[in-house]
Structure formats: structure tokens, C-alpha cells
Structure 1
Amino acid sequence: MSGQDQASGLRKWANLQRQQQQTEDAVDIAAAEHVSEHTSSLLSPTVATVEETTILAPSRPKIPLIVVGLPGHGAAQVSKVKARLGQWSTQGRSWAGTPDDWDIRAVMAETADLAQLREQYSRWALWINSDADAFAAMYRTLRQLHERGGPRRLLALHEPNLPRQGLLDNLRGAAEYYLNMELLVLAR
């Protein structure tokens, strides 16, 4: 797949995310106006104010993101992923939202129920290390995903200064050519 096709696909996905967010926001505002309109005459001003505040700031469900390739589990690994999503957000990539919008779930590529997870979750990412053995380890992870019925499309998560040329392009090309998998690389 050419770089232009990848960029086009990512723009479509980002636009869809933006449209869904706008629709959710419109529904939230309409619901808040409706409740405010009907409760303000029935409740005292103090209670109505609390009620409106609660309705205007509902907690949205977090977006699940399944991440494979993390070197271990725990809060430190999740923090790395959230930090990268936060960096993309500050770079103007609105689809990334805020780091707290995401429910990061680390999964091992060897997991027996990988095909079931693929059916249940649509957003997957591969954490790419930048050490000397990164290509071999990441390709092995992608191959395991392929063999166990994992996702065919993953977002490449990596350190911010990792250039596209080299590891990322080689890994993306190998995934596409040998495994028929799409690795979305967002490096500059």
C-alpha cells in the first residue's frame, strides 16, 4: 500500500472519529438542555445547578486500545502508551484525544484467545522498541498475531524521535509483504 493510500485511510478514520465525537457532543448538549428545561422549575436553584453540572459533564466511556509488544505489564507500560498518544494530541492529531480518553490494555501476542479479542476490539496497536533487536522482536510479534488470528491492522506506537526511514519503514514493509498486515506509521 502506498504512503498516500495510508494517509488517505488515516484521514478517513480521523474524520469518522471527529464526526462521531460531534454527534455525541450534540446528543449530550440536547439532553442537558432538555433536563435543564424541565427540572429548573421543579427544583431549588442549588439543586438545579448541581443537576445541570452533572449532566453537562458526563463521564464518557473510554476507548479500548489493545497494545501488543509492550516489554511487560503494569502502570509504567500504560504510561508510555498514554504519553505517546498525548504527544500526538499536542501535535494536532485530534483523533488521539486526550490520554485519559483511552483504556489501554496490554496483550501478549501468544494469548490463546487472540481471535476472540480481535472480534471484540477494533483498535489495536504495536509498541515498537528502538533497541538493536527491535526489528526481529517486533516482526516475531506480528507473525504470532498473524498465526493466531489477530488483527490485520495496527497502529505503530513508538518513541517520538524514531524516524520513519529504517526500522519503521522496514517493519511496515515486512508486515505488508510477508504477513498481509497493515502497520499504520505516523512518524514524520
Structure 2
Amino acid sequence: MSGQDQAAGLRKWADLQRQQRGADEVGHNVESDETVPAAPVNEEEAAAYTQEAMAPTVAAAAEPATVAPPRPKKTLVVVGLPHAGAAQVDKVRGRLGQWSALGRQWAGDPQDWDVHIVMPDSASLTDLAERYSRWALWINSDADAFATMYRVLRQLREHGGPRRLLALHEPHLPRRGLLDNLGNASARYLDIELLLLAR
């Protein structure tokens, strides 16, 4: 509780002290046997009033502050982007946000993803593939997209990369055409599964 509760308890104790002194003085001044002085307040009672007033404040101060632990981030390793950097990470998170807005629950909050941009010919690709289970291929929708993306998938295969990737692309990109062709070619020639989520 607040300091007001503590102050109220102390005022109560002080009033009892004044009543006791007043009763003692009345008892000395009046010579009647009928006047009975008020029972004196001993130190234990005074301490009890003080303790009662302070207890909520002390208990509240002793409680540790409840801070929600940060949500664990989900790691997503992305290949197919020209280079790493904060702008590329924001680009991926923006795409995840679009998927989330379309009702894809797996996308969740884009800020909950720890996005790593990796080059498909990285020397540590095998280690990364063993360490992380969520991988995505960034697919552009330009005229050279099929050739570029197939080259990235081939490099992944040659350098021990993952065998299953999410196709991360614009939500409006139709499945028929680029996505289907890329998915079929990667499965047939590279033994890589491309997860296509186009509507």
C-alpha cells in the first residue's frame, strides 16, 4: 500500500499516546475513585500499530518486479538476396508481415523472427544447415528470376545446404508459372523441396 496507510497508522498510535497522557493527567487532578485511567499503550502495541501500517509497504518493496521475459526469436536463414544488411532483413520482415496480414499464422509478428541473410556459396553453409531448421529462398519476380533462383538452389546443393526451403515471395505472385516451374525443377534435378504458399 501507499505511504498514506503508514501515516494513518502512526496518527492512530499518536492519538492513543495523547489519550493515555490525558487520562493520566485527569486521574491526578480528579480525586474521585470512579475515574479509571485508560490502559497505557506499551511499546509492543505501538510497534504493532506501526508494523500494521508499514507491512503492506514493506511487502510491496520486497516483491521482485514482474517483468515479462522476452519472447524467444525464431531464426530464419534466407538465401537469394544479393547481399546481407539491415535493409535486406527489413525487406524479409516486411514480406513476413504481408503473409501474416493474409492470415498465415506461422508468420506471426515479423519482429519475432531473427533473420539471417546467407550467401548460397558460403563456406559455413553445411554447419548452418545442421544448426537451423527454418530456411527460405527469396524469389524475385523479374524476367530473370527463374535462372537466378535456380542458380542459387544449385549452389545450395553443391555446398551442403538445406533440402527444404520456404519460397518467400510477393503475396500476389501466382503459383502457376515461375513458382511451379521453380518448385518442380528444384525437386526433380536438385532434390530440394520448395514450399510454395501462393494462393
Q: Counterparts of 1:93-108 in structure 2 under 5 Å?
A: 93-108=104-119
Residue 46 to residue 125, structure 1, CA distance change in 2 (3 Å): same
Aligned to 1:170: 181
Cα distance in 1 for residues equivalent to 2:58 and 2:171 = 51
Give 1:51's aligned amino acid. A
Aligned to 1:60: 71
78, 84, 90: which one pairs with 2:89? 78
135, 138, 147: which one pairs with 1:136? 147
More helix by share: 1
Percent identity among equivalent residues? Answer: 65
Cα distance in 1 for residues equivalent to 2:153 and 2:78 = 12
State the 4+ residue runs in structure 1 displaced beyond 2 angstroms.
41-48
SS in 2 for 1:150: coil
Gaps of 5+ in 1: 1-40
Gaps of 5+ in 2: 1-55
Give 2:136's aligned amino acid. A
SS in 1 for 2:76: strand
Q: TM-score, normalised by structure 2?
A: 0.68
Aligned to 2:17: none
Aligned to 2:36: none
Aligned to 2:18: none
Cα distance in 2 for residues equivalent to 1:58 and 1:128 = 35
Residue 42 to residue 179, structure 1, CA distance change in 2 (3 Å): farther
Aligned to 1:51: 65
RMSD: 1.8
Q: Does 1:116 align with 2:131?
A: no
Residue 59 to residue 148, structure 1, CA distance change in 2 (3 Å): same
